[in-house]
Chains A and B, each alone.
Chain A
Amino acid sequence: MKTKKNKLTVRNLKLWYGESEALHGIDLDIVSGKVTSLIGPSGCGKSTFLRCFNRMNDRIPNCRVEGEVLLEGHDIYAPDVDVVQLRSHVGMVFQKPNPFPKSIYENIAYAPRIHGMVDDGDDMDELVETALKRASIWDEVKDKLQQPGTALSGGQQQRLCIARTIAVQPDVILMDEPCSALDPIATAKIEELMDELKEDYTIVIVTHNMQQAARASDYTAYFYLGDLIEYGETQKVFTTPRDQRTEDYITGRFG
């Protein structure tokens, strides 16, 4: 068996919304250069868990986190960690495509500019082109870079958002149900893109679509009521799950 390198390590992660505990001590290793999908019924904590990786939960008042989340060995909840810096290492793509209501070019250039990665000009042009090419959307938008990103189709918008995320050259890309608003063709394009991107990035995706988890991910984690029930290679989880609750969920028996 090949040795796996862990990009993210989660140890005994607990999360509270006010008084109610939403995650009950999760232990999980996200393997580097792979796609890991988080599945489970609504309200099981998978999105909450995903948002622990870029501390998006910080924005929610009364949200408290305990335990460790290590990004290549560094605790991202350590007091000296700058959330802004963290988010440039851990990018995020959201459920609804949410390009800024600005030009396609500006959508990509915004984050590199605020992080001071390159100056406007030729360097920025090149970065924008690379990001758009990497997200397989360059050919569709190269003639209309100054048009608003919101004028694209849903699937294109989502790929634009992915391009926007990889423009900062993160280590990890988090995707929160990225295809739930897209048609099957657009979905297939995103899945194909994920497959290409995992060479360079570690991808964690939350999905309600089990076929998508099966198709697009290498590892699958099943969450239920704030617990990690089962975690393993996708092929294993989908043919021979170890836990009856996983079995019931992925076969559509839920009672």
Chain B
Amino acid sequence: MNQHTFKRFEDELNLLKSKTVSMGGLVEKAVRRSMKALMNYDQKRATKVIERDRAINALEVEIDEMTRSLLALRQPAASDLRLVIATIKIVTDLERCGDLAEGIAEYALKVHEHPHAHMDSLEVLSDRVLQQVKSALDAFTYDDVNAALQTIENDKRINKQYKAIERENLTYMLEDPRYISSGMMVAAISKNLERIGDHAVNISEMVIYKVKGHDVRHVDHATAERLVSGELDAE
């Protein structure tokens, strides 16, 4: 793509994107660390994750500020406009992810109260979710529509696995009523992970909007693919 005639505008757009990418990095790290703290009963690490959520929130505010001033002062159009719009949405998703990671970290502070909780399947789910977050952010960084489509497609597997964990967890609770409090914790954590996965999907959809200008929310995957490939016109 050609350079902007107005260099400062170009710089501001680049800065907006890099800030968003680094916010994504922080969120990704928060999710990974909160899970690590959970699995290792590491209260210190959990506290750190909770503290770092403030940095994520601050970044959200900062990026919002930037998008507002870009809209007001530069009147972006076309791809620039779509970048700004996508960023506004992505930042909200990222902030929610940060909150969800914080929620997991809060459970990590209390996880020693549930020594018998079955958390192996949570680890597998979190690996998948982390992969989703990472690929969504990569798609954003490199404007990679195919990676974004793949991420959306992959979410089905996460949902499937989340259902499996839910059933498994329910079985444990039915077997042993004393497990119910542990089971509820596992249910809450898995719910958080599944929601993080949903936000990764939202981010991917915004990446597709940003690059192609098509809104693929609420359409089935096959239609989305045809839209992206340009086979299908938006009307």
Q: Which of A209-228 contact B (CB under 8 A)?
A: 210-211, 214
Q: Are A240 and B235 within 8 A (Cβ)?
A: no
A residues in contact with B4, CB < 8 Å? 251-253
CB of A1 within 8 Å of the partner chain: yes
Q: Are A252 and B5 within 8 A (Cβ)?
A: yes
CB of B79 within 8 Å of the partner chain: yes
The distance from the CB of B231 to the nearest CB of chain A, in whole angstroms, is 14
Alpha-carbon separation in the docked complex, A255 to B9 (Å): 15
The distance from the CB of B38 to the nearest CB of chain A, in whole angstroms, is 43
CB of A250 within 8 Å of the partner chain: yes
> Which of B60-68, B70-78, B115-123, B132-140 has 4 or more CB atoms under 8 Å from chain A?
B70-78
Q: Are A253 and B3 within 8 A (Cβ)?
A: yes
Residue of A with least CB distance to B230: A242
Count contacts on B: residues with CB < 8 A to the other chain: 20
Chain B 131-162, CB-CB to A under 8 Å as 1, else 0, gives 00000000000000000000000000000000
A residues in contact with B9, CB < 8 Å? 252
Residue of B with least CB distance to A237: B78
Q: Are B3 and A240 within 8 A (Cβ)?
A: no
Alpha-carbon separation in the docked complex, A254 to B1 (Å): 10
CB of A239 within 8 Å of the partner chain: yes
A residues in contact with B235, CB < 8 Å? 1
CB of B80 within 8 Å of the partner chain: yes
Q: Are B82 and A248 within 8 A (Cβ)?
A: no
Alpha-carbon separation in the docked complex, A252 to B9 (Å): 10
A238, A244, A253, A255: the one within 8 Å of B81 (CB): A238
In order of increasing CB-CB distance, the 5 nearest A-B pairs are A240-B213, A253-B2, A255-B2, A250-B77, A251-B80
Question: Can you pick out 29 interface pairs between chain A and chain B where the beta carbons lie within 8 Å of each other?
Answer: A210-B77, A211-B75, A214-B77, A238-B77, A238-B78, A238-B81, A239-B77, A239-B78, A239-B82, A239-B213, A240-B78, A240-B82, A240-B214, A246-B78, A247-B79, A248-B1, A250-B77, A250-B78, A251-B4, A251-B79, A252-B4, A252-B9, A252-B77, A253-B1, A253-B2, A253-B4, A253-B5, A255-B2, A255-B3
Q: A238-B77, A244-B1, A255-B2 are in contact. List 6 more A-B contacts (CB 8 A).
A: A210-B77, A239-B81, A239-B82, A248-B2, A252-B6, A253-B3
